[in-house]
Homo-oligomer: A and B are copies of this chain.
């Protein structure tokens, strides 16, 4: 079989894949001479491992029997109808994403960003910085989205004895299910964490009004999609004016955040540059998962993590 691979693997991952899949043809995108050869390889492949761009390329790939995405999110493919079975990475990035958000929250409460700057300056402040700090212990936290990341975040927050309120349109485990139920909760929350995926419903869902409903000490966190905020500038203004206590943003309206963008100079804000899902073993895990699923594919067994582009999950 011809397997087209459009995933940013390093040499060690390629070596592992070639060793683990000796009987099939592996075609790595970056080893092809240019865009035309890449498109041709995609259109003639049986299997795709990766997330090709431009998106339109995948629309034409009607010969593919199976697409293994290396991502969990796939909203940019939602209009595509091809006969292939589609699988994604589902829960794979949830734990690192959850840890990044909690790392950012704890950094704000315990002054890790401030201490990093002081270390670089070789400057001791010591006792007086203590009065700026807080604790995550027993804080009231609203988690937006009760998927894998939200559940991992909740598990971690239990260790801090937090009071957790779940917002989900569809989950029976959620405490609140629509925006009108959410709004009255916002003034009570110490922390709001969005783990919502990208969809027509979540785009622009968190309005300027909702930012202003939050407490001046509250922290807004987003590890879902940057377009959740209808007006990112309103968040930036609230942080400058101390109408909001802090923000932890793994995702932002623009990625990469451009040079000179106001977010770079927004106070009490941790910007993790969409690194939430990352880890040193990230691509080892993707390669390993693909090889397991390939084995199932060849045996005609059901594939793990099947999704439908148009259904959204």
A interface residues (Cβ-Cβ under 8 A, vs B): 8, 95-96, 99-100, 102-104, 106-107, 109-113, 115-120, 122, 124-127, 129-137, 155-160, 255-261, 264-265, 269-275, 277-280, 282-283
Once A106-B102, A124-B256, A131-B280 are accepted as A-B contacts, the answer to whether A270 and B136 lie under 8 Å apart by CB is: no
- Inter-chain CA distance A107–B101, complex, in Å, is 11
Assess the B270–A129 pair: CB atoms within 8 A: no
**B residues near A274, Cβ cutoff 8 Å:** 126-127
**B residues near A261, Cβ cutoff 8 Å:** 122
Assess the A130–B264 pair: CB atoms within 8 A: no
Assess the B158–A275 pair: CB atoms within 8 A: no
Once A106-B102, A122-B260 are accepted as A-B contacts, the answer to whether A277 and B130 lie under 8 Å apart by CB is: yes
Assess the A272–B111 pair: CB atoms within 8 A: yes
Once A159-B158, A264-B119 are accepted as A-B contacts, the answer to whether A133 and B273 lie under 8 Å apart by CB is: no
**B residues near A280, Cβ cutoff 8 Å:** 131-134
Once A95-B135, A278-B133 are accepted as A-B contacts, the answer to whether A110 and B115 lie under 8 Å apart by CB is: no
Assess the A278–B129 pair: CB atoms within 8 A: yes
**B residues near A134, Cβ cutoff 8 Å:** 279-280
Assess the A278–B158 pair: CB atoms within 8 A: no
Once A95-B135, A103-B110 are accepted as A-B contacts, the answer to whether A118 and B273 lie under 8 Å apart by CB is: yes
Instruction: For the complex formed, measure the closest distance between the CB of A92 and the CB atoms of chain B, giving whole angstroms.
Output: 12
Assess the B110–A99 pair: CB atoms within 8 A: yes
Instruction: For the complex formed, measure the closest distance between the CB of A232 and the CB atoms of chain B, giving whole angstroms.
Output: 16
Instruction: For the complex formed, measure the closest distance between the CB of A275 and the CB atoms of chain B, giving whole angstroms.
Output: 5
- Which residue of chain B has its CB nearest to the CB of A158? B159
- Which residue of chain B has its CB nearest to the CB of A132? B280
Assess the B158–A126 pair: CB atoms within 8 A: no
A sample of 5 inter-chain contacts (CB < 8 A) reads A103-B107, A110-B275, A131-B282, A131-B283, A159-B160
- Inter-chain CA distance A115–B160, complex, in Å, is 24
**B residues near A277, Cβ cutoff 8 Å:** 130
Among candidates B112, B155, B159, residue contacting A272 with C-beta atoms closer than 8 Å:
B112
Q: A122-B265, A133-B280 are in contact. List 8 more A-B contacts (CB 8 A).
A: A96-B135, A99-B135, A110-B275, A115-B272, A115-B275, A122-B264, A124-B257, A158-B159
**B residues near A103, Cβ cutoff 8 Å:** 103, 106-107, 109-110, 112
Most chain B Cβ neighbours within 10 Å, of A107, A127, A257: A107
